[in-house]
Structures are given as structure tokens and as C-alpha cells.
Amino acid sequence: MSQRVDYDAVAELYEARYLRNDYSGVEQALEAFVAEARGDGPRVLEVGCGCGHWLRWLGDANVNVVGLDPAAGMLEVARSAVGPRHLIRARAEALPCVSASCGRVFCVNALHHFEDPAEFFREARRVLNSGGGLMTIGLDPHTGQDEWWIYEYFPDALIADRQRYLPAVRIRELMTRAGFDACETRIVQHKPRELTVTEAMAGGFMDRTSTSQLMVIAESEYETGVRRIHEANAAANGRTLLRSNLRLYGTTGWAG
């Protein structure tokens, strides 16, 4: 059984993931998705905004964006990045927004943390105006196409992810039921990468707080996985490569 992640406890460390990883494909997908919201365009709402990375990025692009997150610690970090007027503490399943008040709603690597994704989709449809759109971006560990050293050395992480993440087909089904039209999924970023164990350690990739996949497993499983990596590296005379070949999927739907 997976553990809940205490995002208040890791808030100060969370932003580092954007320095370690390439999110250029996500940037391009978001840029296209909110293109009509620049300047005096409609309001954009990010649900699960965390430390405010995407709020700052879109704000710099002259987008009228507001972020929502239930974790006070995350919002405290975000405050220093975007200021308090762009932040709301609330749950995805109860958006504190007037109906038909937003032009775009999005979440990046957040849907799997929501307690009731179906209710979130209904709420997103409620707050979107006619012609508005919803986009959710994240992994789909159900495809069997991805390779990730974390799943290899920490197998409980894959088990947990297949419980936490919805398959893309299920996301589209729930969005359609909530009243969205033209729901579709596409790959927004393909992220192949190889790291030596030394590089992974130096870059913080093996730190437990580096990704939720390592935080949702038991401490004993995390320690066992780290030991597996070092044993494999010793047996290979320091030549073990930690490989990842991940895809991030973006699913969109539109309010008619």
C-alpha cells in the first residue's frame, strides 16, 4: 500500500525538480493551450500549482493565471515566486470559482494526487466558460511502453503508480462524462535519459524527495532499492547506467 506524500514537509525542496529535469515539451504544450489567454484574455486556473513554477512561467508570458493547491507549505513557497494575489488554498474537488469564470484550467503532474478526479472534472467543467478548455499532463504507467530505473530498482513504486495514475483512456472517459467535448490524448514530451550512478547521486535524482515515486513507498523499500543500485554498480565496476525512457501525456477537452 502506498503512503501519502506530505507536501508541506517537502515544499522547500520541490522546485529543484525543475532544475534537474527537462520540461520543454510541457512548456510548448501549455503555451499553445493558453495562447488565447495572453494579455487581456480569459483567466487561466492551475489546479495543483505546488510551488508556483508554472504560475511564474505563464505570468512571465503575460497570462492572467491563478493557482490553487491544498498544501499550505507549497503555497508559502509559491508566494515568494508569484505573490499572494495569484494563489488560493483549496481542493481540486471544490474549486472556489464562480461558474463560467475561467477560459482555461490545467494541471501538470497533479491529477494522480486528487482524491476524486471525476469530481475535479465536473468542477472544471462548471468553472469554464463556453469554448473553454481543460488540459491535464502526466505519466501513464499503464501503457507498458515506458522504461524507468526507479521502477526497476524500486518495484513498489510501479505498483503504487498504477494505483495512483489513471490510464489516459479512463481520463478521457471521465472528462466526457463531465461534459467535455473532443477529448484527446497526445504525447507532449518524450524524455529518454541515461545517468551513471555517480551522476544520479550528485544530481539528487536518488534523493527520496526528488520525486513522489520514492516518497510513496515504504522507507525500507527505498533503502532496499538504493542498496540494489549500489550493488549492481559495484558488480559492474562502476559502469551501471540508470536508464529512463518516459512519456508525458497531455489530455485535453473542451466546453461546448
Burial of 134 (0-12, 13-18, 19+ CB in 10 A): buried
Query: DSSP secondary-structure letter at 23?
Result: -
Q: Across residues 177-202, what is the average pLDDT? A: 97
Q: Give the pLDDT confidence of 110-167 residue by residue, as tens digits.
A: 999 999 999 999 999 999 999 999 999 999 999 999 999 999 999 999 999 999 999 9
C-alpha cell at 115: 482524491
Q: Give the pLDDT confidence of 217-238 residue by residue, as tens digits.
A: 999 999 999 999 999 999 999 9
3-state secondary structure of 45: strand
Residue 9's pLDDT band, with cuts at 50, 70 and 90, is low
Q: Give the pLDDT confidence of 26-81 residue by residue, as tens digits.
A: 999 999 999 887 777 789 999 999 999 999 999 888 898 999 999 999 999 999 88
| CB-based contacts of 10-14 (< 8 A; 24+ apart in sequence) | 10/73, 10/209, 10/215, 11/51, 11/71, 11/73, 11/74, 11/76, 11/77, 12/73, 12/77, 13/209, 14/50, 14/51, 14/74, 14/77, 14/209
pLDDT at residue 3 is higher than 70: no
Torsion of the alpha carbons at 16, 17, 22 and 24, rounded to the nearest 10: -90
Q: Which domains does the chain have, with CATH numbers?
A: 7-255 (3.40.50.150)
pLDDT at residue 1 is higher than 90: no
